[in-house]
Amino acid sequence: MEQEHDAWQRSIAFRKQENALLKYRLSDMVDSSEGDRSLQTAEYFHNEFLLQDERIRRIAGDLSAFWDQFGSLLPEMQLPENLILMHEQLRADILKFEQEFSAMSNSFNRRMAGNSSSISHPE
């Protein structure tokens, strides 16, 4: 369980850094773009990045809360049912977050790969 928790912490830290990089790239795109469509796209992705920041904070807080409860157990104690359920929920939440973050990041990167002035509003 500790290894999985450490992997989750690394994943969340990585996504936090990646989200910061995406925001920086968005700023560059806005600086070099013209037109309302590019600004609409920029606004859409800016809102997505802010949402991801909030999700990262929430998941990091949930991980910390779980680890605090887990760490307070004595070694000979059996893992209580509520912690087992909390761990399973964290696993599901992190998997969903990683999938959705990757999809959002890929969508942004595809749009950035084209000419930034011809970026269209996301579907």
In tens, the pLDDT along 58-93 reads 999 999 999 888 888 777 778 789 888 999 999 999
User: Quick check: is 21 in a domain?
Assistant: yes
User: Distance from CA of residue 38 to its chain's centroid?
Assistant: 24
d(CA 9, CA 48): 21
Asked, for residue 120, whether it belongs to a domain, the answer is no
- CA–CA distance, 8 with 96 (Å, rounded to integer): 13
Count of domains for the chain: 1
48 found inside a domain: yes
Asked if residue 55 belongs to a domain, the reply is: yes
pLDDT in tens, 10-42: 999 999 999 999 999 998 888 877 667 778 888
Whole-structure pTM value? 0.79
What was the pLDDT predicted at 118? 44
119 domain-assigned: no
> Within a domain: residue 45?
yes
Give me the CATH number covering residue 12: 1.20.58
For residue range 95-114, what is the model confidence (pLDDT) as tens digits?
999 999 999 999 999 988 87
Is residue 52 a part of any domain in this protein?
yes
73: left (phi > 0), else alpha (psi -120 to 50), else beta?
Answer: beta
Tell me, yes or no, whether 121 lies in a domain: no
* Structural domain harbouring 7: 2-70+79-112
